[in-house]
Amino acid sequence: MTTTHLDSAGLFRSLHTARAPLALANAWDVASARVIEAAGAPAIATTSAGVAWSLGSPDGDVLARDRALELIGRIAAAVAVPVTADIEGGYGTDAAGVGETVAAVLAAGAVGVNIEDGTRPPAELARRLAAARRSADRAGSDLFLNARVDTFLFGLGAPETRLEETLTRARMYVDAGADGVFVPGVTDTATIAALAGAVPVPLNVMAGPGAPTVAELGALGVARVSLGSGVAQAAYAAARRAAQELLGTGGYDSLTQAMAFPELDALFSAPHPRH
């Protein structure tokens, strides 16, 4: 790994603190990444769902690895801040394949990845995480490996045992090499506080309307707050509103909150700090 890559990885790792949680408005293409960076974001995270949709695929381990890697590389080259990539289950049929994916993600310029368990057996994600860690170590990278636990997001197991199952998985994933644990689908403050108090690495949660603010989540012990696919969904909802208004009433009022053309275009016409 180059010194620049290692510096970026170290910076990204240092941003994970409950004192000032890392707030990530997830991007899905170069334009969204540049807009988010220009808003002051200290890092860029991708949303696997948004990436898949933008490339014509559904979410859920359907997108071909090479297409995802190409986009990750374009985003990493387009921004000056650290990039972490959501790689779903690892874009591989087994742990060895996930190791190959991680090596390619690092080569593309990212310094972190999310890998999710979904409905896989927890032991399978542990194997994938271990392979990802070995791959990063071979590359000499300080990769931030974030393990996503989907018990709450997918409603896995009985509600009364879900917290303990989540913690059991989290500890297994940390033992396998995870640097952080991501538990989407939780907005209840008592549950978030319990997770933050028991998970031995930085806790990442997914936020949206109705969730506590970033500062409130930090007070509960959360070190990283993501918007997941929410920004992409909002952007596509804006496109739908504009189309429905145009085709329905023939009006254009839905465009009143659009970014000014010169402001958006300037994000691409000006020299970039990295180049």
Mean residue pLDDT of the chain comes to 96
pLDDT digits (tens, 9 = 90+) for 67-88: 999 999 999 999 999 999 999 9
d(CA 83, CA 18): 20
pLDDT digits (tens, 9 = 90+) for 138-178: 999 999 999 999 999 999 999 999 999 999 999 999 999 99
Pairing of strands 112-116, 44-45: unpaired
pLDDT of residue 259 exceeding 90: yes
Burial 134-153 (b: 16+ CB within 10 A, else e): ebbeebebbbbbbbbbbbbb
pLDDT digits (tens, 9 = 90+) for 105-130: 999 999 999 999 999 999 999 999 99
pLDDT of residue 15 exceeding 50: yes
d(CA 71, CA 67): 7
Give the end-to-end CA distance of the chain in Å, rounded to a whole number: 18
pLDDT of residue 275 exceeding 80: no
pTM: 0.95
- Output the pLDDT for position 271: 62
What would you measure as the largest C-alpha separation in the chain, in angstroms?
59
Domain range list for the chain: 3-236
Residue 221 vs residues 108, 146, 182, 193, 200: alpha-carbon distances, Å: 32, 17, 13, 6, 11
DSSP labels, the chain: --HHHHHHHHHHHHT--TTSPEEE--B-SHHHHHHHHHTT-SSEEB-HHHHHHHTT--SSS-S-HHHHHHHHHHHHHH-SS-EEEE-TTTSSSSHHHHHHHHHHHHHTT--EEEEE-TTS-HHHHHHHHHHHHHHHHHHT---EEEEE--TTTTT-S-GGGHHHHHHHHHHHHHHTT-SEEE-TT---HHHHHHHHHH-SS-EEEE--TTSPPHHHHHHTT--EEE-TTHHHHHHHHHHHHHHHHHHHT---GGGTTPPPHHHHHHHHHSPPTT-
| Fold of domain 3-236 | TIM Barrel (3.20.20)
Q: How confident is the model at residue 272 (pLDDT cuts 50, 70, 90)?
A: low
Residue tagged 């289950």 (tokens): 89
Give CA 262 to chain center in angstroms.
29
pLDDT of residue 256 exceeding 60: yes
pLDDT digits (tens, 9 = 90+) for 38-70: 999 999 999 999 999 999 999 999 999 999 999
